[in-house]
Amino acid sequence: MAVIIVLSILLADQLSKFLADKYLILNNTVPLVNGIFHLTLVHNRGAAFGILRNQLPFFIIVSFIAIILIIAGLKNSGKNKFPLYKLSLNLMLAGILGNLIDRLLFGYVIDFFDFKVWPVFNIADSAITIGAILFGYSVLKTDMNR
């Protein structure tokens, strides 16, 4: 099941980025719900909020380290019976892989979801964020049950 989750998110992420790159114009916005939700193609050369711009080697190295740690966490997840723990690791793995593919292919991450009150993001970013929240919750929940 884990492979299906990771591959499904990765496929959705890469397909949506391909379509965004093909049909949107860089740095132009297309309002879907005016003032609330737009599609805005951005080439993000940093991390969240554009921090650490132009640090491509750093992001690639950190991504590989995170992937190794997540895979190790999944292999050892038998110790953690909380199902959200495994789901959280799979979500983060899919997101990290999605953005890593962009960095390796293009030197930047393709972002396009724009809520105007938050930095532009993509499906991989969403998977990482949701995975991190679920991870924190599952770790806290596991610690409370000890």
Q: Could you report the per-residue pLDDT of 86-142, keeping only the tens digit for each? A: 999 999 999 999 999 999 999 999 999 999 999 999 999 999 999 999 999 988 886
Q: Could you report the per-residue pLDDT of 104-119, keeping only the tens digit for each? A: 999 999 999 999 999 9
Instruction: Give yes or no for residue 11 having a pLDDT over 60.
Output: yes
Task: Name the 3-class secondary structure at 30.
Answer: strand
Q: Could you report the per-residue pLDDT of 45-85, keeping only the tens digit for each? A: 988 767 888 899 999 999 999 999 999 998 887 655 678 99
The set of catalytic residues is: 111, 125
- Please give the residue range of the domain that contains residue 96: 2-144
In angstroms, the CA 122 to CA 129 distance is 11
Instruction: Look up the pTM and report it.
Output: 0.91
Q: Which of 109, 113, 118, 104 is nearest to 49 (CA)?
A: 118
Question: What angle is formed at CA 124 by the lines to CA 101 and CA 93, rounded to 5 degrees?
Answer: 75
Q: How many domains does the chain have?
A: 1
